[in-house]
């Protein structure tokens, strides 16, 4: 049974625009408008899931997706770095920031290691490999990057080489045995 999975990064927020670790901030007005326009590109879906974060739920609502909240698709818990500018951490705690980027099993911010995010995304993808139909997930760049590592069987260090912009879409398909990246033809 063929499954098509559309991964959708939530719309733009102030944290995106200002280079901050995310908190549970709302979408900016522009993000809501753009999400509504993206709905036509995604097309009809058989089921949808969203991260519990406000910005993901607002994106799903703007796209008119009847999405179930899925805790496995939540953003990484950035602990005490939540809401802080990345540039500030470069100045005040460069060792901790460097350690976090080099060792994905540590969480110097007191939250969740990236390796834990990778494991929960791997588990989620494995449990939905044979669902069939077209599904959509509205979540975070971190989660989508983890999903790409899963599909490509890439080393964890490749995480830092992937950029996902707000409202970026990544398509995957499954034949029930494995996931594949899909690059649809926009001219269809």
Domain count, the chain: 1
| Residue 85 C-alpha from the chain's centroid | 20
Residue 60 is part of which domain span? Answer: 3-181
Q: Is residue 156 part of a domain?
A: yes
Domain presence at residue 55? yes
Q: Is 188 within the bounds of a domain?
A: no
Spell out the long-range contacts of 112-119 with Cβ–Cβ below 8 A and sequence spacing 24 or more.
Answer: 112/76, 112/77, 112/78, 112/79, 114/76, 114/142, 114/146, 114/156, 114/159, 115/156, 117/76, 117/142, 117/143, 117/146, 118/146, 118/149, 118/150, 118/156, 118/159
> Does any domain span residue 187?
no
pLDDT for position 58: 98
**Amino acid 104: pLDDT:** 95
The confidence score (pLDDT) of residue 187 equals 53
- Successive 10-residue mean pLDDT values, the chain, 188 residues: 95 94 94 92 95 98 97 97 95 95 96 98 96 97 98 95 96 96 75
**pLDDT for residue 186:** 63
Q: For residue 83, is it within any domain?
A: yes
Residue 115 domain flag: yes
> Does the residue 186 lie in any domain?
no
Does a structural domain hold residue 25?
Answer: yes
Residue 64 maps to which CATH number?
Answer: 3.40.50.1240
Residue 1 confidence (pLDDT) = 80
Residue written as tokens 């460069």?
A: 94
């Amino acid at each position: 049974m063929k499954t098509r999975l559309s991964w959708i990064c939530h719309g733009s927020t102030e944290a995106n625009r200002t280079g901050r670790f995310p908190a549970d901030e709302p979408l900016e007005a522009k993000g809501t408008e753009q999400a509504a326009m993206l709905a036509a590109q995604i097309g009809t879906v058989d089921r949808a899931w969203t991260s519990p974060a406000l910005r993901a739920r607002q994106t799903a609502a703007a796209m008119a997706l009847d999405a179930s909240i899925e805790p496995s698709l939540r953003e990484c818990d950035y602990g005490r770095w939540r809401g802080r500018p990345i540039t500030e951490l470069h100045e005040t705690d460069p060792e901790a920031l460097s350690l976090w980027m080099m060792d994905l099993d540590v969480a110097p911010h007191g939250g969740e290691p990236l390796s834990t995010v990778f494991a929960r995304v791997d588990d989620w993808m494995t449990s939905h490999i044979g669902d069939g139909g077209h599904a959509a997930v509205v979540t975070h760049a971190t989660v989508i990057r983890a999903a790409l590592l899963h599909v490509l069987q890439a080393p964890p260090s490749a995480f830092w080489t992937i950029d996902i912009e707000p409202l970026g879409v990544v398509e995957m398909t499954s034949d029930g045995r494995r996931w594949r990246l899909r690059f649809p033809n926009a001219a269809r």
